[in-house]
Amino acid sequence: MSKKGIAILGSTGSIGTQALEVIEQFPEKFELVALTANRNADLLIEQALKYKPNTVVIVDESQYQKVKDTLWEHDIKVYAGVDSLNQVVEMTEIETVLTATVGYSGLLPTINAINAGKNIALANKETLVVAGEIITKLAQEKGVNIYPVDSEHSAIFQCLAGNFDNKIEKLILTASGGPFRGKSLEELKSVTREQALKHPNWDMGAKITIDSASLMNKGLEVIEAKWLFGIPANKIEVVVHPQSIVHSAVQFEDSSILAQMGIPSMKVLIEQLREQVQNIE
């Protein structure tokens, strides 16, 4: 079996680093073709030296010379800037692009990757929040698969495997409630940034952790689920589940419910998703 070429956009972030750990366990199945980072040049260099990708991109152009000077003797191509991020996904050797960047910076490279016929492992919900209709329509036209990496949506994807003919009654997205669950309005007036960044269950990047503290993240996930699974918002329910053991569930029209459970770890979810995708393919 030939190796699958992988590009990780946002390899220095929480999901990117955990994805690298999973890929490292299966060197016979995956080949890292490209890694990208926004401004964390030191970690990008460390990853490049360890995993030896063909290409790396550092979006912060002020860091370009530092990365290039370190990697040139290792025969690793180095590029910089937003245009390079958007273009690297088109490399012939790449089969799947893991989009794990922050915010809507993942939109254009995801569109370019789909146009180039690459499958998408999506950990960047903003891509679907800002352009869900465009992305899903384009993926359908190009015959490209979008595999959800976000914990709740990965869980739903796994619950639906083998049940595509079973009509969905509703999707159930779980929410931990974040660090401020149960606090009164009076107590919330004095919370700090540091408190908001201490999520009780998940180890995530700063933006998504803050969004989780305000529950804004769950609203974005409802929009993401709508586009990923073609389900109207009124059939998507959010349930507060502080333990984060049930990652999400699907209720079918026959009243049966399938739930995906596990410890709150993106590394575990990425591995489970890898197995599920392999079974489907």
Is 235 contained in some domain?
Answer: yes
Number of domains in the chain: 2
Is 277 contained in some domain?
Answer: no
pLDDT at residue 280 in the model: 47
Is 193 contained in some domain?
Answer: yes
pLDDT in tens, the chain (281 residues): 588 999 999 999 988 998 999 899 888 889 999 999 999 999 999 999 999 999 999 999 999 999 999 999 999 999 999 999 999 999 999 999 999 998 888 999 999 999 999 999 999 899 999 999 999 999 999 999 999 988 899 999 999 988 878 899 999 999 988 888 888 889 888 989 998 888 877 777 788 888 888 888 899 999 999 999 999 999 999 999 989 899 999 999 988 999 999 887 766 666 655 655 555 45
Q: Are residues 65 and 35 in the same domain?
A: yes
> Please, how many CA atoms are within 13 Å of residue 154, restricted to the half-sphere of its CB?
26
- Give the integer Cα–Cα distance in Å for 115 and 139: 8
- Give the integer Cα–Cα distance in Å for 11 and 24: 13
Is 270 contained in some domain?
Answer: no
Q: Are residues 118 and 248 in the same domain?
A: no
- Give the integer Cα–Cα distance in Å for 146 and 52: 26
pLDDT at residue 207 in the model: 81
Q: Are residues 97 and 27 in the same domain?
A: yes
pTM of the model: 0.86
Residue the block writes with tokens 């908001």: 196
Is 166 contained in some domain?
Answer: yes
- Give the integer Cα–Cα distance in Å for 44 and 220: 29
Is 266 contained in some domain?
Answer: no
Q: Are residues 121 and 184 in the same domain?
A: no
Q: What is the DSSP letter of 105?
A: G
Residue the block writes with tokens 């180095």: 78
Domain containing 194 equals 154-261
pLDDT at residue 118 in the model: 97
Q: Are residues 96 and 171 in the same domain?
A: no
Q: How many CB atoms lie within 10 A of CB 45?
A: 22
pLDDT at residue 273 in the model: 58
Q: Are residues 140 and 195 in the same domain?
A: no
Contacts of residue 245, Cβ cutoff 8 Å, sequence gap at least 6: 261, 262, 263, 264
Write out the H or E segment, with its range, that includes residue 147: strand 146-148
Q: At what angle do helices 14-24 and 41-51 cross, to 10 degrees?
A: 10
242 token code pair: 């502080």
